[in-house]
Amino acid sequence: MKDIDTSAWSAVGETANTRYFEVGSDVLAGVPRPGAVDDRNSARENIAFQHEHWRKKGHGGVVVVFFDNMVSQDKDARRVYQADPDPSVMFGTALVGGTMLSRAMGSFFLGIARPRIPVRLCATLADALAWARDLNEAHRRN
């Protein structure tokens, strides 16, 4: 499990299994607690938190999730993350992970169904932020 340095980010809230930070005005970081398990209920809570965050901001953005702290995610959670995001406020999700488990979970997630919003596996935060910047810029132009 990775310890994520969140000291430069503004804390904006938390759910049962994840702490949230504002990385930029249009990037929200989700940092699961070490050893986090994700099921239908936690997934719904996370999506609701993310939607509420963007609606309060008055614009959408990208969520960057640090997947290395997750130890499992069941099929019901994956279904929520695939079907429930509102594309008008959730422009995409970057899954940052470098462990074999997180990469396997992310690949499995992407391989079983097509999510409503773009989802990308990223090895580093820098990669995730570059992708988020491109997605956010594309939405500003539209």
Compute the mean pLDDT over every residue in the chain, rounded to the nearest whole number.
89
pLDDT of residue 142: 78
Does residue 20 carry a pLDDT above 90? Answer: yes
In this structure, are strands 10-14 and 90-96 parallel, antiparallel, or unpaired? Answer: unpaired
Cα–Cα distances (Å) from 51 to 5, 54, 68, 87, in that order, read 24, 5, 23, 10
Superfamily name and number for 10-137: STAS domain (3.30.750.24)
CA distance 23 to 26: 8
pLDDT of residue 135: 95
Q: Quote the DSSP letter at residue 124.
A: S
Who contacts 118 (Cβ-Cβ below 8 Å, separation ≥6)? 91, 92, 93, 135
Burial category of 39 from C-beta neighbours within 10 Å (exposed 0-12, middle 13-18, buried 19 and up) = middle
Burial category of 123 from C-beta neighbours within 10 Å (exposed 0-12, middle 13-18, buried 19 and up) = exposed
Q: Quote the DSSP letter at residue 7.
A: T
Beta bridge partners of 62: 27, 92
Mean pLDDT of the region 94-118 = 69
Three-state DSSP class for 71?
A: strand
The residue ranges of every structural domain in the chain are 10-137
Does residue 101 carry a pLDDT above 70? Answer: no
| Single-letter amino acid, residue 110 | L
pTM summary value: 0.89
Mean pLDDT of the region 55-71 = 93
